[in-house]
Structures are given as C-alpha cells and as structure tokens.
Structure 1
C-alpha cells in the first residue's frame, strides 16, 4: 500500500530504463566434455554488494567487496569497466583518473576522453567541472592554496581561487558542474574550521554560515542545485547557493546520517537500520514525506541536481538506484534510474557424495541445504533443495555440520560432517565433530576429539569413518573417528593417510608401499606398491586409485591404479605442488591460484579435461569432489553452484564396508540391522538368503535407487511377509550400478537366523 504524502504530492514515476545491470561475462572457456549443470543462489535478504559512486545518464558503481572492478552502467544495458575504479574525481558520466602526472578524463556516455597536463607543485583535488579541474598547491609556509586549471575547451588555463586565505587542510565534500562544497581549516593558531562554496565561474570561495555554539561546526552538509543542507545534531538549515546570507531553518525529527538538498527540500537518511526510511523535509516547515524505504550506501548528487541512492521504494524488496528530483512546481518525484541485480545469498562449505550435494547458506540466518544431482549421463541438479536445516532455538547446531573449521565432508551414506572449536578458539582448541543426517528430522550427534588440537582439517569421510589431520602439541597426527560409535579409534603418528570405506591406508616403509588396515578388525588386509620408490609425503586413496608425492615441494606427484599397475605422473611441480587437491574415481582435481583443473586418468593417459575459473580476475571460492562418482562441484563468485561431469569408464561397483551380524536375532531389535556401504549409487538392489540346510532361497528385500548404503532390518520374514526358518544362511546382495558402467554387484556372506516366530495356528513354510 502506498504511503500518503500530504499536500506536496510525491509522484512515483515509472522506471527510466529496463533492467540494465548485465553481469560481467565469465572468462571464455570450453564446455565441460562431461557436461555441466548450474544452480543460481536465491536472492539475499540483504542489499546488493554495490556502492553508488556517481550519477549521470548512467551510474558509476563499485563492488563493496571488490569482487569486480568499478563499472559505469547505463539504462540501455551497457556496462563498461572503469579504467581507474572510482577515479580521482567524478562528475555525472565523467571520471577523472590520474595517469602518471596527467589527469585523464573519460566520458562513459559519449566515449570521449581528454587529458589535462599537470602543473609543477600542483596536486589534483577531487573535483572537476565541464571546463575546469580543481588543484591545490602549498605555499612557502606549507599551507594549501586552490587553483582551477582549464580543460581543453576553457581559455582560462590557471586561475587562483580567491575569497579564502591559506588553509592548513581542506577536503572537497561534494561538487557539481557549477561548484564545490569545501570543508577547510584556516592557517595559523586561530584557524577556524569552516565550510565554503567554491564557484567555478568566478573562481571565488564564499564562506558559509558558522554553526551555533561558538567553535563548533556542522556534522553533515550536502550540496544541492538551489540550497546547501547543513545539519548540526538535531538542527538543520538550508543555505542559499546564490547568497549564503539567505538561510532557512528546517525542522527535522531525527539526527540524520546523510543529507542532500533537492529543490526546496532537505533529503535526510537516519542511517538507522531500525528506521531505514529516507525522508524529505520541506523548507516551509510542513510535515516530512517518506521518499525511499531503505538506503544502502551514500546519497549521491546527480548531474541534474537530483539525489540518487541504491535503495528500495514503496515497501518493495527490489533494489535499484532511485533518484529524487523536484519538478517545476516543486513537487518531488522518485524515479528508478537503474535496476541492479539482487545480491545472491552467500554459499559456503560445499560437499558432495553419491550425487548428493550440500551447501551452507549464510543470509538472514544460517542454514544447510541439500540438493540431488544425477548420477548417470550429463549432470543435472534439482533446482529446489530436497532437504534443509536452519539454525533456530530448537536447532542451534544445524550450521556446524557444514562449518568452516577444517572443512565439510559428505560421508556418502546420507550424512554430512563438520567441526567446531570451543568458544571461538583458533589455536590449541577443544574440537567437536558434528554429524547430521541429511533428511527431514534427521538426527544430530557429536563426537569430542581428545585434547587440544591445532590446524584441524577433515581429510576424508567414508561411511561411518572419518579421517582428521591435526597437530597435537605441535606434532602432526591423523585421527580416525568412528562416527557411528561416537569415539576416536586411534591417533596415528603420521599425516599421510587415506580412507576408503573401512580401509585406512598408510605408508609402510620408505619404498612406496602402502598398507590397508581394516578398521573393523585392526588387521592389515592389503598392500600396494605405488612404484614411486619413496615414502608418500602427500597421499590420497579412492578404491583402486591412489595419489602421492615424495616431498613437501610436490616432487614425484603421481596417480597409481592398482588394478592395472599403471603409474601416471602429474604436472603439478611446475604449477603449484601444494595447491588443494582431491582424488576422485580415476581423476584428480587440482586448484592453482583459483583455477580448478580436472585431470582425467581413466584412459591410462593424463588428459586435462576441463578448467573452471571465476569471473575475470577472480577465483573459484569453494569446490568439492564426489569421491563416489564422476562429479566436481564448485562455487563461482556469483554464488552459483556448478556441477561438472567427468568422462570415461568409472570403476566397478563394490561393497566398501559392511556391518552384518554373524547371528541375527529376529526378536531383538538391536541385532536385526544389516548395512552395506557401496562405492557408488545403484539403480536397484536385491538381498536374498539361501538356507544352507534346505537349499531354499528367499528374497529378503528389494529396493530401487539407493545412494551410498543399503540399510535394512531383517525381522525373519521375506519380501512377501512370510516367516523363514531359523538356521544358517548364505546371504547374497545383488545391485545394478546407476551409472550403467561395469557389471552388476554380487556380494555374499553368512548369517545365522534365530528368533523367527510363526503366527499362532500356522505351520512352517
């Protein structure tokens, strides 16, 4: 509903132009051979990351956090990067830049440029006019004097500014085509703090009225085409530009943070987030009018005398540059001069496993969102989250499972893991592991790591096990955590370790041999010679694929596939050996100064298959590899999620961990559960049990698409609900890989069933 604005009508004009802030084009890159899917971040509840610098026919905008250079943007869709950011001085569409000793002035609307040569002992000030440039010089006593240098179309090439004596210091607060508003301190011990209006046409500075109170000055001043707005705490006046002796008192109801004069109105913003409305105060003393609902950043004096700001209007959450002007009758008008893109919500700490993708969203609150990507063919991604949790009074620890301390990991069985330090500790901290079931109503549990740790980092997660690297009393260690049991299994004396399913891989000796310890039994069950001839310094494990280096500087970086015995050198020494790296199923992803490269190894020959980078001059902000499939996920500078596929044949489907009881009591809930962790998603599965005595085979359960783990509770009944005989069984798990690559899985084992009971009056099957 539009607010009432009183007798002086506040006309809300239509937008001057169409949506015109065109995102800077990403650096040209070849499409990913394995396909790519994207997911834009939803709009943020906060203002865009933009600051308005100058207003003409177009707007000079800069990014608040330097994600892109300052640019001039017009209502017709043009977006031109500024040569020197916000520049030395600005006037409408013109930006003045210091180039060597010259001042280069560029008009972004017309494309015209000109240069003003420097004068000896002159410093460029922050003001220009269509015909002149303001400069300053120091006299023999070190005091400042002002001069106007003529531009190309001005015959007066050097005019001293009169009307004010030497200054100990000065600052240009605002300027337009006719003059500049200057704050200055007079020279000498008695030098006063004053404000003056410099008139370009006459090259004279007119002293503006002093603030009341003797020795005090105005807190805020703002230039306008007719008046100068001057505020001292809760008192405001409007001073005539043509005759500073003409002053009008303006009644304001709140001390403002920013002011400008438009027509006969004082435009004021309180700078108070609890009351963000920008008001227009008339000089005739009547009631103020709301003009903008919110303002982010400064009010800028437009080339036409309007007041412009990045703002919202009429209760809308849509941000744009709005300009406030006065018409011939003195009524205010608010016009949308430039639409700007919504600020995307911040995304951080992404993790992906078995095609399930998670990201921490930081906006008005912190939440973790889960999306699902395809696991066969080119990547696709759900556009809406399938699951989310949000920090609230009832769920204080939701974001901790995607925390920024030491990274975030997806376990591959529907859980995500993060860490937190006690009381914001940053060194030698008590650290807690947070585990979250990524489903609606999913459980949250914690595991406290022992002692005080430094440089804590999640190395990898696989099902129920977590591998963490840390320093314990300044010595590198690897901590192995069973997140199901809620305990630390071991603290290893080496930082070079890899985790895959229930196998913990570590170096054995100094000749390139690594050994796998089964965490279920504590026994070494496999050894692999990496053919490197050195003890691994950096090490990763993923199924039959391994990555290692021989030293801290990355010497001997190579991948090794145990199935074929092929060692593939990697080209990292020349790039950046210690850059972040992840090993996938037959591929390596390596980051080098914000550029992420996918090296495909599946053919046995190294191929740099794809490179991903942010916008020009910027980096990828976060990335993760799906260890249980062929996907890379990353965030660009616009908070857009990208999922990139990897070509070639993936590894065979396998069971990488299992928890199947030797004896299953159908009457006891705690002993009826069986779980099989899988190396990649499956499209369907079937569990059968063959009675070893009778030879009868029963279908226990079947299922459709499953990602990460087959988890079931056997109550002694088959798929049809029929009770089976107690006794010794051989179970068989059959599963079909969802990616269509490799043979179906067949895993077998033994179990003894007890406690199966028949309903009263029914015989055995």
Structure 2
C-alpha cells in the first residue's frame, strides 16, 4: 500500500494493477502505471513513485495524472523519493557523498545540494524499505562518518539537514509534524519533540510478550501504536505510558503511516470480513477509526504443510499462487487437536511467490522442536537453507550450501541433515540450526536424522547410526533388503525405508530389537509417524499403517487434495497426528489413536559450567524430546551440601524443554562456587508411559567463594610456603587428595599467611600476609591466580608480630564476612578483628584470656550452624572445639578427641576437600607425612587417612 494525502494506493492479492481509493468519498479508480510489477514507494503524498532503473524514477499524480520521469544525471545514485522530490547521493569527484534533491520546476529538473551535513559525511538511504519516513515537507536520510551510521531530517523545501540524536540502526523510525520516534531493544519507544531534537526523549514502555526483532511501532498523533508479530492487533499507548487501547481491527503486517500522522491498517471487522481502516488522532488524542475500503475475500490455501512435536507449519498462498507467507499453529496437546490462532513466520520469498501455483514449486517445510522451521530457496549464488521463527521471520537466518539442490533428510534436535554436491563431491552434511555451521560430514546416500543420531542406509540394506556430535558409530542394523535407490526416515521406535521414487518396496526396522519386516506400499511415498506410516492410495485417501501390532493394520483418515507428500498430507514423527489438506481446501488434523512411545530425550545441550559473574550469559540447558510433555521441573542442588538452590518449571511443550538460570537464588546473593547436581523431570502430555528423568552436574564459577577455595571449583585448597619463598596453593581435588598447584614467588621465608575470605566482593578468596615488619596486608588474587608480592593488596594494620597465631574461623559476627583471630604470644589472650564492609579490619577485641593451648586453629563451620568454629589442642594432646556465634564470641569448649595429634607440627582447617560439603582438616607430622580427617558435619572427624608424603620441606602450611 501507499498512504497518500487524500487517498491510498494498493493492489489486491492476484490483482493485475494498482487501485486508488479516496479517503473522503471511498471512490476507487485504477492507477494506470506503466510498470505494475514495480513496488511503489510510500512518498507521504498523492504522488505514486517507483524506481525503474538505478537512476530512473517514475512519478505519477494520483489518481489519474500523467507520468513524469526523473532521470538522474550521471554521477548520482538514487536513495529514495519523498513527495515529488528524489533524494540522491553524488558518487564522483569532490562531491562524492553529498546529498542532493532533484525536483521538477515546470519542465526543468532542478538539483539542490543539501547543506548542514558534517564534513566527510557520505549520504545514504535511511532504510532499504519502500515505506517512507517523514512528513509532507521533510524526510529522513542517513550518512556514514568513519564506521558510524548517523541520521537526520532533510527539509525538502530548504534543502537543509538537521541531525537526529542517535546512531546505529534505529528500528521503526517514525516522523510526524510534531515528533520523532523509534523502538529500542529495551522494549520501549523513544519519542522526541521536533521543537527540540536534542532534548531527552520521553520513554513509552511496551508491556507484554514482545519479540524485539519483529515488533512494529507507529505514531498516531501523540500516541504510540505497536504490535507484536505479523498477525497481532495493534495497541495504542497514551503519552502517560500507562493508558492503553486495543485497536482490534488491525492486522499488524499490513500497517502503514500516512503523511498527516494517520495510520492505515488492514484488518477484520466484527463479521470477519477484511477491510482497510484509517486511524487518526481524535479530539482527546485517542485514535479514531474509519473504514476506507472493504476488501473482497479470497481464500488462502496451504501449499505446504508439516508437523513436528504437535506443531503445524504451513506455507500459504492465495488462489492465484501468489505467496502470503509462513504460518505456525499449535494444536492442543491433549484432547481434540483443534487449532486456534496462528503465528506469522514471515513473508513468502520472491522466488516462491512468483512460481507457486503448483505445490511442487512451493518450499517444502521442515519444522523444528524449538519453534523454528526450515526451507530452501534457489538464489543467484546457489541454494540457501533458511531457518525462520517468530522472532526471526522469513528470510530468517540463512546459509548458501552450493549450486546443487540440497535434499533435506531431516530436521531434529538442533540439527539439519541434507545431501549436497554431485558426482565425487556428493556428501551428506549436518548443520547446527543455531549457528548453521557444518558439524558433521558423512558419505552421500539415503539418510535420516533423529535427535543427535544420523542414520544412513546403503544399497545393500545396511543401516548405520552415527553420533552427530562425536562422529562415532553407535549401532548397525539391516533392512534385509537391497535397493538401488533407497530412502529412509526415522522416529523414536522405527526406521522406515522405501525403494524408488515411486516406491516398489518398503519396510520398517524396530529399534527395540532390530527386527526388520516389509510392509505394503501406496501410490505415493510414505511419511513416518510415531508408530505408523502414512501414505495415499489410488483414491487420494490418507491411509495409516499401524506398526505397533503383531501385524500391520491399515486405517483411512481422510481424502487429500494433492498427492504430493508435505502438501496433500503429512505425519508427525513425534505424535500420533496426521494432517491433510482436504478437498474443501481446509487443513484437517486427525489423531490416529495409535499408542505412543515413552517420553525420552533425543538430544540435549547442557552447558557444563555457569559463570555467575557473566551476568549477560545465563545457564541455558536444552533437552529435545521424543514427544510432547505436559509439564517439567528442573531442580539444582549443591553437590556438596545437598541443599536445593533453585527449582525451575514449565508447562506444555511440544518437543523442547528450555530452562534458564542466572545462578542467583531469590535471596539475591550468588550461589557458592562448586558442583551442582541438576535433575530434570518431565511428564508425558498424552499420559502414556513413565515420566522422563535426567540428571547431571554443572560447575558454578564466579559465585560466592567457598572456604579455602582459590581456584573457583568449590573445593578447599592448602597454602604452603617453601624455602624458595614461594606461596603455593595445593589444589583439593574433591576426593580428599591434593592435585595441581598454583605458585607465586618473591616472598620472605618468614612470611605468615592466613587463607581468608573475600575482602573485595570479587567472589574470590583473599590471603592475609604478615610481613617481616609485623604489618598485615590483605592480598586479593583473582580466582585461580597465584598470590605474589605484586598482587593488589590493602594495608590492614601494624604490630601483628605480637601474635603467635593468626587464623580465621570464618564469620563470627553474623555479617557473612570472614573475621580474623589473633592469639597473643605474651598473654595467651585471643583477639577478634572483625572485617568491615570496605575490606579493612576493626580494632582487635579481646574475647578470651590466658589460653595455654599448644595450637589454636580456625577451621570454618564444623557443625553446620553457619558460624566459624575453632579447634585448640592442649598440652595433654586433647583436642577441643569452640563453636562460633554471631556475636563475636565462642561458646564453651567441647572435647573432640583425647590423646590426639602428639606427632603433628601443623594442623590446618582446609575446608571441604572431599566434596561432601563438610569442613575437613589436614595434619603434617615430623616425618613430612600429610594426613586428612574428614569432618562429619556435627563438630567431629573421622579417622585419619594419609594423602601425601615429603611435606617436611615446607616452611609453613596454612
């Protein structure tokens, strides 16, 4: 359509030429355009304009005026046309990049240079679309300066340029006499007053489920009007950003702004008839509707149809074969499979909209479980595979696959398999649907795809299954029959093979036991469903063969209007549904009633790690299913503690479960680093069979630092100092041993370290070091990095040489931060240095007096109450435990062991190194043997286990 000042131009589907309808009278007349096959530009006027060649533009005064032709001089490139003015860019000499305006003054074509663009700017079209942006006296152009794209308003009478305050690629830019607006990915529309284009724009939120890539926004007066997707109604939002009005007559894919701030839309009236409606601003600012044209009804037809996971995808045309586009419908997963509503997946391609009168010429569709659909086109440079969905409508993501027509073998899981190439270059390729990268290449030949398994059939009847991701052969079977030209399909329970384009033989292989058997053939190739094969008989009846019984049994489902598979009928390999286009031109969904396979996973993509620090990237596991699920639940538990940190859930899904987790529980603090066990449970939608259960682990990094963990793996580490002055993190391996090291040199061999908590909230534990002069520093190494003298640090105080022991038990003040303990040499008094929010230490506070123990060790939370605990060994070799509190004090001591540790010269509270979530301790004896005692989570320990030898060379173990 073209929205003019007094009327509008349009062409009906299949119509030979353009019509003009007057707004006021409704009178319609034919526009006698010389070239009806060119699409006119919306010039925001009653001038119909369309470029004929690169430098030639025809201007026609509507409704019946004469045609004037603008022939741009050499050295100019056409950009757009607005009203009677053609905008072009100079392409030669010193003028290269300048914007020029060409307009007839009587019979003379005038040329005016646009002034006001920055020096060095290269003028470009604002958009490639034919939908105009501007008002009657101004239009929008773009320019590039360096690599940055800018925009501005050109006054068509004055030939002056005014900069607009944004760069990049604004979406849905709208210009009225009073305002400029555009849509932002933040799901809001920014509106600027033209009286002050440099002022801050007001923001109008778009509330609701919005697909950023396909939302459409407009201005009607001072109200923002928007719609989500190609078939949705428009919603008007008042300037307050809160008051909304549903414009229920609108059909968002056919909406166009007019020069006076009006909006033309194609929509249905209450009786269901299509009409063109014009919305203008009413006295109160709200859009007022008037019907300006009733559109004759023309039935669409489903030229192609496909089923996958209870999703019906169609390619629809009008009766002339002109393409309307791709549509998705979601039948109910339970009960009668009726369809209500549709999702628009994008317009028909030029190729198919031109030559789709015969269904064989229409694009065959291959739906995927994630809501996308795949089809192929022939372009100038070869064949392309397209992946489209509601957020990325046709032409969608695309990749050129060669000059030979690809034979699509299947779309399943997150892959597409197809045959390509000719002669010796013939091969089978598998691509990832997200990246469209080739992930597996296999020999040419009949193939089928089911989840992450590629099945291939040789002429001798050998069946080979290959894991797409790994490339390994996982199974071999046989059909028991030879065939020179075989074809193959796959489902959860069966492989179906045919011989010949017009099948002369067919059979199935039961994947449960590998048993092969032949079945009858129809007059058409068959389509495999879940437990059945469908085909047409000589009377175009859809015949279903039940494979689940002792012998095949046939059912008749209906009569199709085409004998082409994927056009006349199709079957869903994930359910018991068939769909067929009947003689009444309607698509019918027919349940076969055949029992389904159990719910199973056919593919998955589960990231092994989640970095909580990476806020822009969530943990997004996916599981592809053999059939629809009614609901699902995903729980995540800390592997060490067994505590559930998140439970995610969802409702019905046809074939794909997608979850998303940011690593932050509802309390707002990131979960602790370490391994988390996930468990997925999904209920079958048809109630048949057991629930699906899957489990695994995900390693969380960048979360809350776990006691004594310096690698971010959630396992405690031991810090040692050797005679070379190296501080070394000895990494706990989660099984109670130490494996791997991270070392930093340059330290004094008399330095004393205290493995501490996180001082600066970077989710990495830090290290306190007492220097040779008695000063204390807090070093802040990154996770997994060594601590060196050059590591960033904070000075925490002086005089700490007065303490024979510096240690940390963990949090003793209830603020979640580790605190420091100092055991004074001269008095035996115990002092608490509470950690402040800025990472420094409060002054020492005496909390115990005159201790005469031989060793005092901070060991973390031993009893699971959330507060740090302390161990102390006396001269009689009795080991005592002091349970910490939130008040900066310890409870009275409790005996842990008698006659314990006489041979130990070092005892270290190492945190959890066994992976059970309980704090452990390690000890070194005089011979250099290193032992471990497993914490029981109740304040005590199990018997010791030797885990290393040769540790006598270390100056210190901390």
So what's the TM-score if we normalise by structure 1? Answer: 0.49
Which of structures 1 and 2 has the larger relative contact order (alpha carbons within 8 angstroms, sep 6+)?
1
TM-score by length of 2: 0.39
